[in-house]
Amino acid sequence: MVKKLFISTLVIVLITLGLSVFSVNLVFRQQFGNYLTQTTEAALEQLPEQLAAAYMNGRWDDNVLANVANTLPTGTEVTLKGTDGSIIATLTHPSDEMHSFGTFGGQGMTMGNMMGMNVPYTAQGWKTQSIEVKKVNETLAVATVRYPTTARMLNPQDISFSSSIFHSLLMASGLALVLGVILSYFISRHLAKPLRRLTQAADRIGQGYLEERVAALSKDELGELATAFNVMADNLKRHEELRKQFTADIAHELRTPLTSIRSFIEAFQDGVLPANTENLSAINAEIDRLVFLASDLKDLNIAEMGALQVNPMPVNLVGLIDKVVHNVSPLLQQKNLSLSWEPEARDIEVAGDERLLTRLFYNLVHNAYKYTEPSGRIAINIETRGEEAFVTVADTGIGIAPVELPYVFERFFRTDKSRARETGGSGIGLALVQQIARLHRGEVSVESTLGQGTKFSVRVPLEVRKM
Ligand code: ADP
């Protein structure tokens, strides 16, 4: 990560530097070329007078013409023709002849050469001007002046100026590069630091230290990652606690009926109790409890693996709930709980699995019984809403605290209140209810007020299209 960040920052620095050196160089060359052209044109304005001065006593003075040639801007060529068209002289700056067959100064590869400023003299375009050379209104000759449209740097001052600019540019780029390398090294280390902390925390969690958390980082994507990581660690810890609690609860669930069965058998052996029908059916009830628990666990496991089979058959929900109510009514009577179950219609059919749907409503009604104080009320309602059957199971029981409400459908979850009451639940009843509802393309939800009661609502489509 650090390496990748470092390399990418470095590549960006290099590209930026390369582009800026290239563009500065380009602009400089263009501007400087224009400046030289303007200088050339300014110098040429003096030319008619200078040439006229070379005409003395009816003839052209070679020395003066040579002096004029010396003052010509580099690259300029002046052809002086008489009025009859004959060539009087061709003037060029002395150093131009040298350039025409070599690079400037003949010193091999100079800095200027590398920048492409000092190549053999070939102009990209030429400008031509005709100037009349006059003396006291008499035309002496016509000078044709040819000079490059974009002047090149040919004189030593220009070259040294441009190469010193280029040197400074290179120095600045080198400095920027070194700074860029140092900065990108520290920036990449700084950026990767929170990720290293996250990796360390993930390692610790992997080793089983589930209380490991990362401190809130910045308010950006890394901060979000840290928050998501902490939420994940919280969930892992909660599930670990639930699992431990579940093992303890299951041990308790298994031990209670087994102890009871053993006490009965010891009593039979000691002759304290007769092995009559009543006592044997008490043993049978305890065995039923164990079988129920085992099948709850198995069903939940299979449902969570997505392999629970539903045999969709027409099921009359009203008849099914009738049976559930009938099964629990002895328990309700023992606890003096009143039950209201007055379905408006007798026939509300869904396509589903009768065994599983019985389990669903049994668990809800049985919970209402477990978590409602004696003399409380339980109300079951059914109606059809559009294409769905809608069943509610409400009680006036102990209720569920708002903070615990989101977790009641998680497996092994039991509220603190229900633990304190020693109701002996395992925390898988509602998880199974939810799985069964989903298998039937339905949904279950809960509303509750602590100390006042709880209402579970189940929706199941009347027509289950695909299961
Ligand atoms: P359990 O076997 O513990 O009843 P469930 O999965 O059926 O497991 O329920 C999970 C927890 O939800 C229960 O332990 C209890 O705390 C709470 N709960 C379920 N139904 C009710 C209810 N009708 N009233 C109050 N609390 C309930």
- Domain assignment present for 19: no
For residues 147 and 126, the answer to whether their CB atoms sit within 8 Å is yes
Residue type, 314: P
- Mean pLDDT (the chain, rounded): 83
pLDDT of 338 over the 90 cut: yes
User: Cα(162)–Cα(152) distance, rounded to whole angstroms?
Assistant: 11
Considering the domain architecture, whether residues 352 and 225 belong to the same structural domain is answered as no
Q: Where are the beta strands (DSSP E) in 1-149?
A: 55-56, 59-60, 77-82, 87-92, 126-135, 138-148
Atom 21 (ligand 1) nearest CA:
367
Domain that holds residue 419: 309-461
Quote the CA–CA distance of 188 and 5 in Å, as a whole number.
Answer: 5
State yes or no: pLDDT of 144 exceeds 80: yes
In a domain, 30, yes or no: no
Q: Which 8-state DSSP code applies to residue 105?
A: G
Q: Looking at the domain assignment, is residue 178 inside a domain? A: no
Q: Are residues 340 and 296 in the same domain?
A: no
* Both tokens assigned to 339: 């039950």
Q: Are 320 and 361 in contact (CB under 8 A)?
A: yes
Q: What is the pLDDT of residue 153?
A: 57
Distance CA 416, CA 218 (A): 36
Q: Are residue 380 and residue 441 in the same domain, yes or no?
A: yes
Between CA 61 and CA 77 the distance in angstroms is 18
285 and 321 co-located in one domain: no
360 and 381 share one domain: yes
The model's confidence at residue 107, banded by pLDDT at 50, 70 and 90, is very low
- Nearest-CA residue for ligand 1 atom 11 is 414
Residues 370 and 261 in one domain: no
Which residue, by CA, sits nearest to atom 4 of ligand 1?
Answer: 425
215-237 pLDDT, tens digit each = 876 788 888 888 999 999 998 88
Is the pLDDT higher at 280 or at 252?
Answer: 280
Q: Same domain, yes or no, for 74 and 128?
A: yes
Give the CATH number of the domain where residue 426 resides: 3.30.565.10
Last residue of a domain, one of 115, 136, 154: 154
Number of domains in the chain: 3
| Spatial contact of 278 and 287, defined as CB atoms under 8 Å apart | no
8 Å CB contact between 371 and 393: no
Instruction: State yes or no: pLDDT of 275 exceeds 80.
Output: yes
With a 6 Å cutoff on the Cβ, whether 430 touches ligand 1 is yes
State whether the beta carbon of 413 lies less than 6 angstroms from ligand 1.
yes
Which ligand 1 atom is nearest residue 414's CA?
14
**In this predicted structure, which of 35-44, 232-241, 343-352, 419-428 has the lowest mean pLDDT?**
419-428
Q: How far apart are CA 384 and CA 454, in angstroms?
A: 22
Q: Give the model's confidence band at 384: pLDDT under 50 very low, under 70 low, under 90 confident, else very high.
A: very high
Domain boundary among 154, 188, 209: 154
Residue 200 counted as domain residue: no
- 161: in domain: no
Same domain flag for 282 and 367: no
Residue 418: which pLDDT band, with cuts at 50, 70 and 90? low
Give the least confident one: 7-16, 111-120, 178-187: 111-120
The CATH number given to whatever domain includes residue 249 is 1.10.287.130
Ligand 1: residue whose CA is nearest its atom 25: 399
How far apart CA 460 and CA 383 sit, in angstroms, is 11
Same domain? For 295 and 315 the reply is no
Ligand 1: which of 245, 252, 332, 418 to mutate, most ligand atoms within 8 Å of CB? 418
Asked if 262 and 340 sit in the same domain, the reply is no
Instruction: Classify residue 363: in a domain, yes or no.
Output: yes
> What pLDDT is stored for residue 96 in this prediction?
63
Q: Which pLDDT tens digit goes with each residue over 437-453?
A: 988 989 999 999 999 99
Specify the pTM. Answer: 0.51
**What local confidence, expressed as pLDDT, does residue 254 receive?**
85
Contact 50 CB / ligand 1 (< 6 Å): no
Three-class DSSP category at 216? coil
Question: Do 273 and 326 fall within a single domain?
Answer: no
Sign of the four-CA dihedral 103, 109, 112, 113: positive
pLDDT digits (tens, 9 = 90+) for 79-92: 988 888 888 888 88
Q: How far is the CA of 207 from the centre of ligand 1 (A)?
A: 33
* Residue 269 forms part of a structural domain: yes
Q: Which of 301, 335, 362 is the last residue of a domain?
A: 301
Model pLDDT, residue 3: 81
Contacts of 111 (CB under 8 A, 6+ apart): 163, 166, 167
Q: Is residue 211 part of a domain?
A: no
Q: Is the CB of 351 under 6 A from ligand 1?
A: no
Same structural domain, 135 and 264? no
